[in-house]
Amino acid sequence: MSRKTIILPKGKRARGGSPWIFSNEIRMDEAAKAIAPGTVINVRGDDGRAFGTGYFNPKSLIAVRLLAEECDVVIDAEFFAARLTRALALRDAVYDRPFYRLFHAEGDGVPGLVIDRFDDTLTVQIGTAGMEKQQTAILMALDKVLKPKNVILRGDAPNRALEGLDSYVKTARGEAKRIAVEENGVRYIADLQEGQKTGWYYDQRDNRAFIARLAKGKSVLDAYSYTGGFGIAAAKAGAKEVVCLDSSAPALALAEESARANSVTIQAVKADVFEELERLKKAGETFDIVLTDPPPFVKSKKDLEPGAKAYRKLARLAADVTAPGGFLSIASCSHNIPPERFAVECGQGLLRAGRRAALIHQSGAGVDHPVHPLLPESAYLKSLVYALD
């Protein structure tokens, strides 16, 4: 096999089983730099030791992402079909309806590949040059394992630029745009072409179910609601009033449509969350349950301090509009803030709001978002629920 080899020189290599190898860990000589982004390579030590099969991008900080622990593993439709079959078996063991994240990158053994399943429709997110090269093999594997009716390629994640990739949304099989998502017995409508990310955030499924358990007879503020994942679940569970707050008009329009599909009522408010929380506080308005699920405040390591401050402020402002005896949920989808730091910032925010609180629920994403055991930072979602005095 004329496969190229990337060398991990001894003193430099930090690899402790992580599927990522950084550009400063490898021998980045002229031969390596000349390898086309996304090429499948072997990784060996300078002593010849095999580190595995991966794909390489000389332009990326994460230079190698490993696909297998052995060298010379053939990466083709059969390889992807085997990984998909394993991922599908895990979901089949947990979910009784075909609505879930079918494939979660490193956690399912293929860095750069994320697939969400909405019954016979799939959205595929390819995040790296290596996976872009394998698009045909991946689609063949999907046809073999699942025979999906519709496949949408969401090649529009902003981090693709780091890999030198362009941005596109394409339909690879069939045709689908707006579809129904079933989750926790609630029916939502998602826009798979124009919605954010893959069109739906499956990661919060279990946390939505937890909030629904608290919601009967309560007033609920769903801040950063997107298409109403939490709010509609709360309304369906018997909340007496639900406000969905988001800056995206299309997301709120879908939330209203989903509410009608479940014969419940929500109030959609288009506003900036920080501004609206300040306004509600001034107006003296409170809610029995306040939940906040913001976009990542810590987008990269250098944003840690300002991002941490933003979480603290959000916790304070959200506590200000939580009724006495109410519940407050704060989530973070930033993998760049460690869970302990996030919890401290939220705790400090509650303290500054002058509220005594008990942390009653801590969780992350659901089972359909498995984490590679040696890549703990891929467990990006953190969710904390407090009971306030």
Residues interacting with ligand SAH, by CB under 6 A?
201, 204, 224-226, 229-230, 246-248, 251, 272-273, 293-295
Q: Which is nearer to ligand SAH, 26 or 221 (CB)?
A: 221
Distance of closest approach, residue 53 Cβ to ligand SAH, in angstroms: 35
Q: Which is nearer to ligand SAH, 223 or 353 (CB)?
A: 223
Q: Which is nearer to ligand SAH, 154 or 372 (CB)?
A: 154
Distance of closest approach, residue 387 Cβ to ligand SAH, in angstroms: 21
Distance of closest approach, residue 243 Cβ to ligand SAH, in angstroms: 12
Instruction: Spot the catalytic one: 71, 244, 333, 346.
Output: 333
Q: Which is nearer to ligand SAH, 31 or 169 (CB)?
A: 169
Most distant CA pair in the chain, distance: 71
Q: Which is nearer to ligand SAH, 288 or 293 (CB)?
A: 293
| Rounded distance between C-alpha atoms, residue 331 and residue 326, angstroms | 17
| Rounded distance between C-alpha atoms, residue 180 and residue 185, angstroms | 12
Can you read off the two tokens belonging to residue 28? Answer: 């980045």
Distance of closest approach, residue 375 Cβ to ligand SAH, in angstroms: 23
| Rounded distance between C-alpha atoms, residue 121 and residue 114, angstroms | 14
Q: 244 catalytic, yes or no? A: no
Distance of closest approach, residue 322 Cβ to ligand SAH, in angstroms: 17
Inter-residue contact 176 to 124 (CB < 8 Å): no
Can you read off the two tokens belonging to residue 332? Answer: 């973070």
Distance of closest approach, residue 75 Cβ to ligand SAH, in angstroms: 33
| Closest residue by beta carbon to ligand SAH | 229
**201-214 in b/e burial notation, b at 16+ Cβ within 10 A?**
bbbbbebbbbbbeb
For 14, 185, 187, 313, the CA distances from 92, given in Å and listed in that order, are: 36, 17, 20, 41
Residues with Cβ within 8 Å of residue 378, at least 6 apart in sequence:
105, 106, 107, 335, 371, 372
Residue from 274, 358, 283, 271 nearest 316 by CA: 274
Report H helices in 191-295.
Answer: 205-214, 229-236, 249-261, 273-283
- Which helix (DSSP H) or strand (DSSP E) does residue 30 occupy? helix 30-33
Q: Which is nearer to ligand SAH, 98 or 294 (CB)?
A: 294
Distance of closest approach, residue 313 Cβ to ligand SAH, in angstroms: 12
Q: Which is nearer to ligand SAH, 273 or 365 (CB)?
A: 273
- Which helix (DSSP H) or strand (DSSP E) does residue 139 occupy? helix 135-145
| Rounded distance between C-alpha atoms, residue 103 and residue 110, angstroms | 9
Q: At residue 196, what are phi and psi to the nearest 5 degrees?
A: -70, 150
What positions carry a catalytic annotation? 333
